[in-house]
Structure 1
Amino acid sequence: MRRYRARSAGAIAVVAIATLCAGPAAAAVSTASATPAPAVVEPPAVVEPVAEDRAAELVAQMTVAQQAASIVMGHVAGTDAAALRSYMESGLGGFILMGANIPATEGELQALTSALTVDPALPPLIAVDQEGGIVSRLNGDDFAASTSLKDRPVDDVSAAFAARGSLTARAGITVNFGTVADFTADSRSFIYGRALGTDPTSAAERVTAATAAQEQFLGSTLKHFPGHGAAPGDSHSAIPSTGMGMEEWRATEAVPFAAGIDAGASLLMFGHLSYTAVDPAPASLSAAWHQIARDELGFHGVAVTDDLGMLLSSGDPAHADPVANGVAAVAAGNDLVLMIAGSDAGTAGQMAAGIAASVDAGTLPAERLAEAATRVMALRLASSSATAQWAVCPDCEPVG
């Protein structure tokens, strides 16, 4: 038997699931167009909730500097397990794997993710962008992706993301930034090839399916809130903007995000997108958009920034200081700050130090940092409570 974390409306539990590493006779997938068999989930017999008060208790015992480090997700390139472990010994709350971190074999990747965990009782959040198709980091993900799933039945989405979630979790990864909740019908749009739908309804149905499937195995993430489809341009090199107002947003862009939240997504990624009628600031730095996500959509999980390095690439002098961006992101309501582009081995530590210094100076409320650290801690505790042991299965292909 295997175990997974089931989430619903912010509650985190552990229930039983059948083994996912099957022999060659099992239903298998070897091409991007094939549809894997969905995971077989048994009725939950035992529920072990991870209480938020335990997370709050642990955070209360931490210094301000430790709390600040715990809400930073860092990154350095390379596959040297010892070097990556040394990097994580500073107390960072998470690490994101990029292409340069992925070794040739699954066994090597499992060893690498294990090395990132300094304290097995409280593992960091280990994340990856595994959308499949256009954005794919892991070897072996030949499952159907957004390029075809937007035109296929919803059941195909469930099957593909169950298999993708299994493959990802088996590597020792606990968070997938892989569900694009944006939609657009414009094939010329930057986000079109990565979106799961072309209209609010089709996107919502597929986002719901992808979220429910992945949450069986790991923490899934909805991105890029409040919606990249309405904001033309590429947020990797600019801050796309739109004049869309709230009423139109509620009827369109909000729909897939609301569906994914209702389906139990653990994380919500805020994009570097400016909805000028709501707030001229990018949503990643906007308190207004964080309040909307919490109060209107009922999101109770971890709010995470898109890569803050992308703000540097925008060329906007207002966002030229990465540490200031990190502090502003936390003040706006993000619980986890992510920095990849333009970072080096010292960047995450500098960002953590800047957040702590802002609390000490009184410019960032201590309560806001503690709230963020508690939400991240709760998700880390959920990861540590999972008992699944993903075994390498060299003689079979990935199955759901």
Structure 2
Amino acid sequence: MSVAEQAASVVMGHIPVTDPAALHAYMQQGLGGFILMGSNIPATEPELRALTSALTVDESLPPLIAIDQEGGIVSRLPSDAFAASTTLKSAPVEDTTDAFTARASLVARAGVNVNFGTVADITADSASFIYGRALGTDPSSASERVTAATTAQEGFLASTLKHFPGHGAAEGDSHHAIPTTPMSKEQWRTADEPPFAAGIDAGASLLMFGHLAYTAVDPAPASMSAEWHRIAREELGFEGVMVTDDLGMLLSSGDPAYADPVANGVAAIAAGNDLVLMIAGSTPETAGRMVAGLVAAVESGDLPAERLADAATRVRELRLELAADTADWSVCEDCTPAG
């Protein structure tokens, strides 16, 4: 791949439309992925399958098509009535396996191959922003359910652990601020690391980095921290695709250091991310500008060419792996639901 092709392949784009033709034209930029939000979900499943099919420009290398389908509080697919974290955190672990097996099959049937759906954060505080979405309230229970959710999903699609290194310790909502915690790395090891380590051991394909600052480890948000990416690679042994949480959230934080979305994208790849995600504040031109910014950063020496090449290679390998899955999903209109 050329530098421009590499740059396009590490950008996961988004435009809020349901027109397959418009989406196909948008993806002709060579983007490595697309994230479906509520604004992309049409009224019927056949329409959704037509939409996801339109996102593929090269049949030999389909894009990463992602969705936030946690179930319950965060759910893009209205047909997902399966148990979610609000009840799974206090139910037997087997219920998590059942729910995420069903959820993953529903997502995959829609033509989506990546689910940003496994919340590996921990908190026992019911007032916490992340409490209703977390699969566990302590390291042990969260680890068991994250393992179950990951194992269940990986049989259907590429699952994702989020929000590394853990939203539970960092109070506040990262959609509007950069939550911060003074927790030490040693404390993190026993308090917030276990579910992520468990999910990695279970084979999660992606690891999403949160806009969370563990100041004792690095004052920068984890999504922009080379140290947190090093920890994930070297200490936790994660070999898959590292992806940012929505970079648009950094814009919403009001921190002037993160006011430039293109600069954020370049810094995120430089820190160790393989895929950058931009939703909030995005326009049809945003992804193209991100691509151009990455190319310019390589040409100026601000972004090492080998870092971009490594990121593009990891994304390409995952795309090829998912393309090799020949499962063909269809809806049985006359079937009686099990149970």
Fold in common (TM above 0.5): yes
Q: 1:392 aligns with which of 315, 331, 334?
A: 331
Report the CA distance between 1:396 and its aligned residue: 3.7
- TM-score of the superposition, structure 2-length normalised? 0.99
Letter in 2 for 1:68: A
Secondary structure (helix, strand or coil) at the match of 2:108 reads helix
Q: Does residue 177 of the first structure (1) align with residue 97 of the second (2)?
A: no
Q: 1: distance between equivalents of 2:88 and 2:19?
A: 36
Report the CA distance between 1:392 and its aligned residue: 2.0
Q: 1: distance between equivalents of 2:336 and 2:130?
A: 30
Change (3 A) 1:143 1:345: same
User: Where do 1:191-206 residues align within 5 Å?
Assistant: 191-206=130-145
Secondary structure (helix, strand or coil) at the match of 1:104 reads coil
Change (3 A) 1:175 1:113: same
Secondary structure (helix, strand or coil) at the match of 1:157 reads helix
Q: Does residue 304 of the first structure (1) align with residue 243 of the second (2)?
A: yes
Report if the CA contact (8 A) 1:117-1:124 is conserved. Answer: yes
Q: 2: distance between equivalents of 1:278 and 1:309?
A: 24
Q: 1: distance between equivalents of 2:263 and 2:337?
A: 43
Q: 1: distance between equivalents of 2:332 and 2:99?
A: 19
Q: 2: distance between equivalents of 1:389 and 1:237?
A: 40
**1:130 alignment counterpart:** 69
Q: 1: distance between equivalents of 2:291 and 2:206?
A: 20
What do the CA deviations read for 1:347-397 (whole angstroms, capped 9, x no partner)? 011001101110011110000000000000000001110000111222347
User: Where do 1:1-400 residues align within 5 Å?
Assistant: 62-396=1-335
Report if the CA contact (8 A) 1:163-1:399 is conserved. Answer: no
Secondary structure (helix, strand or coil) at the match of 2:237 reads coil
Q: 1: distance between equivalents of 2:335 and 2:149?
A: 24
Report the CA distance between 1:398 and its aligned residue: 6.7
Letter in 2 for 1:185: A
Q: 2: distance between equivalents of 1:398 and 1:224?
A: 34
**1:51 alignment counterpart:** none
Letter in 2 for 1:75: H
Q: 2: distance between equivalents of 1:225 and 1:382?
A: 24
Q: 2: distance between equivalents of 1:363 and 1:189?
A: 38
Q: 1: distance between equivalents of 2:337 and 2:132?
A: 24
What do the CA deviations read for 1:218-273 (whole angstroms, capped 9, x no partner)? 00000000000000000000000000001110011000000000000000000000
Q: 2: distance between equivalents of 1:216 and 1:368?
A: 30
Q: 2: distance between equivalents of 1:283 and 1:393?
A: 44
Give the structure with the higher percent helix. 2
Report if the CA contact (8 A) 1:140-1:398 is conserved. Answer: no
Q: 2: distance between equivalents of 1:189 and 1:368?
A: 36
- Structure 1 unaligned regions, length at least 5: 1-61
Q: 2: distance between equivalents of 1:167 and 1:395?
A: 17
Change (3 A) 1:343 1:162: same
Secondary structure (helix, strand or coil) at the match of 1:177 reads strand
Letter in 1 for 2:190: A
Report the CA distance between 1:120 and its aligned residue: 1.0
Letter in 1 for 2:229: H
Letter in 2 for 1:364: L
Change (3 A) 1:102 1:398: farther
Greater relative contact order, per chain length (Cα 8 Å cut-off, separation 6+) = 1
Report if the CA contact (8 A) 1:84-1:115 is conserved. Answer: yes
- TM-score of the superposition, structure 1-length normalised? 0.84
- Aligned residues with identical type, % of pairs: 75
Report if the CA contact (8 A) 1:163-1:398 is conserved. Answer: no
Letter in 1 for 2:320: L
Say what the alpha-carbon RMSD is for the aligned residues.
Answer: 1.0
Q: 1: distance between equivalents of 2:90 and 2:58?
A: 44
Structure number with greater Rg is 1
What do the CA deviations read for 1:122-158 (whole angstroms, capped 9, x no partner)? 0000000000000000121000000000000000000
Q: 2: distance between equivalents of 1:85 and 1:393?
A: 28
- Structure 2 unaligned regions, length at least 5: none
Change (3 A) 1:78 1:389: same
Secondary structure (helix, strand or coil) at the match of 1:244 reads coil
What do the CA deviations read for 1:91-147 (whole angstroms, capped 9, x no partner)? 000000000100111111001000000111100000000000000001210000000
Secondary structure (helix, strand or coil) at the match of 2:263 reads helix
